[in-house]
Each structure stands twice: as structure tokens, then as C-alpha cells.
Amino acid sequence: MAKFTGSLMGMGNPLLDISAEVGQDILDKYDVKMDNAILAEEQHVPIYKELVDNYSPQYIAGGATQNSIRVAQWIMNANGKPGESAYMGCVGTDAFGKQLEECAAADGVLAHYMKDETTPTGTCAVLVKGGERSLIANLAAANNFKPSHLETAESKAIYESARVYYIAGFFLTVSVDSLKIVAEHALANNKTFCLNLSAPFIIDFFGDQVATALEYADFLFCNESEAAAYGKKYGLGEDLKEVALKIAASPKKNEARPRTVIFTQGSGCTIVACEGKVVEYAVTPLPKEQLVDTNGAGDAFVGGFLAGLLAEKSVGDSVEAGHWAARFIIQQSGCSLTKACDLKL
């Protein structure tokens, strides 16, 4: 295999989304809320079979970080930058794992998966109702990523070549040690490390892991519910602009560059805080009849932003690229890149 010479690396939990339109009865049955993401517990295990048996679901390549990397590469493909991105995570040696690998390759992403022969590829039940979504992740093989995978020659070639790294908070439940290897490399070489808080449960139940990762973050992403959860847990108040400023000013390992904190708020303004200043960027609302589902919207925003960053665009222009990508994705089922990108950076 040719040595990777690209500029973007992601590491996370590769999951195959099993997506279906459901009624309130299913949400009540499994005690889940819309616009939320959780890890599957014992009570949720039957939902995967129920979706397959009764709902004719769509199978879509997923996993938050993988989605963002795919979107970033899709945009870079349209801007004369093929082969710029790679992604690592753990899958099983099964049909779902093969499907994920083929999907990544079709989008131009090098998927350098760790493969677990004893555990199936992870899945995510995506429950769609009225355009909103609720996610239930069964990590399975994705939970078995080990730092040893980063010691392989191909992994080293990937993270040594890359200059921007992105890891979603979901990975903090899997391997903080792996995150630290990549983050320490970024720190030692003054490269850009990006983190996402990903879900309220990450903030509420994995606080120590978040604190470890946050010190490395040059860019921190999250949505308004995650921002509110963080503000509540750490007593930063309810004003999200203030929360963003306080996170931006919190301790940071690489003092050579300031931290930029980015809060998306669906169709509300995106908040960007850096060096004591807050800027808000308006989102152009999408007519309700054009909304398919919001699954992958936040991931797509990050993908657009990262593509802008790699094209050396300003933070403001990168936010607009993120808005553009999110707007595209919410008109598809899940994070489906159904046509060539027409965004020029």
C-alpha cells in the first residue's frame, strides 16, 4: 500500500447506522428522547432486531468521527485535494465491517481499521421521527480499539503525515490512551488537535476523560445541549456565550495557539469564542419540507469546518463551510454523500 501523505486524521468508533422512521411508541418502549445519543444498555438490545424485522431500515456508514472525515474529504475532492484523509477505529471481520470500509474508500478516505475477529462490527440504531433523531449505539468491536494499533508502520505514517487531527468525545469511552498518543504527537509538533464533546452523557459520566482530552484541544466543538450540560456540571452559568469563553480560556497544553470553541445550535446562530471574544454566525434556515433528518448534521458541520481549516480559510469562512455541509446532510438520510460536492473553498 502506498504511504499516506495526507493532512487529516480522524480516530473514533466506526458504526453502521441502522436507520428507520419510527413512532412515539418505539421511543416510549425503549425510553429514549429525541435529539439525544446514548450507549445501548440491556433494555435496548432488542431494538436492532426489531428495526430489521419490522421497519425496512436503511444501512448507512456512521460513527461521528468517521462521518466528519468523510464529509471533509468529499469537500476536498471537489477542491482538487483527493486522498487527504485517513481514519482509524476498530471493526469486526464481518459484512458490516466490510461495508464500512467500502463506504469510506468510495468517499476517498483511507480506513486503516483495527480488526477484531471475535467481536461484531458496531451498530447504531437511528430512530427518526419528524426529522429529528435519537441514537442508540452498540459499540461492540468499536469498543476494542487499542493503542497497539497506533504502533503499526501504517498508523505511524498516517499520524506523522497529518497536520490536523479530529476525535469525537464518543471515543473517550474507548481508549483515552490512544487519544493521548495522537494528541501528544500534535502537541510536540505544533499541529492542530480538534475535539468534540459529542453528547451530554460523555460530559456527565466521563468527566475525567473529557478533562484530559480538553487540555490538548485547539478547537472544541459541541452543540447547545452539550454546551448547557458542560456549563451546568462545572458551574459556568447558563449563558452559552459565557460558557464558550470560559472553556476557551481554560488550561491548554499548547500555549503557542489559543483555543477556539464552537457551539452549534441547530438552526440558531453558531457561537465562536476565542481570546476573550465571541462572534455569532447566523444559519440560513432550511424550509421544513426539505428536512429529511438531522442525523449527521453536527458531524457534517465539523467536516465542512475541517475542510475549510485545511484550505487555510479563516474561522468565519470555515464556519460557513460547516453550515453548508450540515444543510446538505439534513436533506439526506443520515450522513449520505449522494452526489458530488459543489462547494468551492
Known catalytic residues?
A: 299
Q: 3-class SS at 261?
A: strand
* All residues at 6 or more sequence positions from 298 whose CB lies less than 8 Å from its CB, including other chains: 64, 196, 221, 223, 264, 326
Contact 196, 39 (CB under 8 A): no
Nearest CA to 315 out of 340, 341, 279 is that of 279
For residue 38, give the C-alpha cell.
446514548
Burial of 164 (0-12, 13-18, 19+ CB in 10 A): buried
Query: What ranges make up the beta strands (E) of the chain?
Result: 8-11, 15-21, 36-39, 58-62, 85-88, 90-92, 110-111, 114-116, 122-129, 132-138, 164-168, 192-196, 219-223, 260-265, 268-274, 277-281
Q: d(Cα 161, Cα 252) in Å, to the nearest integer?
A: 24
Here the cell at position 206 is: 466521563
Cell of 340: 458530488
In the DSSP assignment, the letter for residue 224 is H
DSSP annotation of 332: S
Which residues touch 237 (CB under 8 Å, ≥6 apart)?
231, 243
Q: Residues 179, 65: contact at Cβ < 8 Å?
A: no
Between vectors from CA 294 to CA 46 and to CA 309, what angle results, nearest 5°?
120
CA 65 – CA 86 distance, rounded (Å): 11
DSSP state of 109: -
Contact of 124 with 136, CB cutoff 8 Å: yes
How far apart CA 284 and CA 327 sit, in angstroms, is: 9
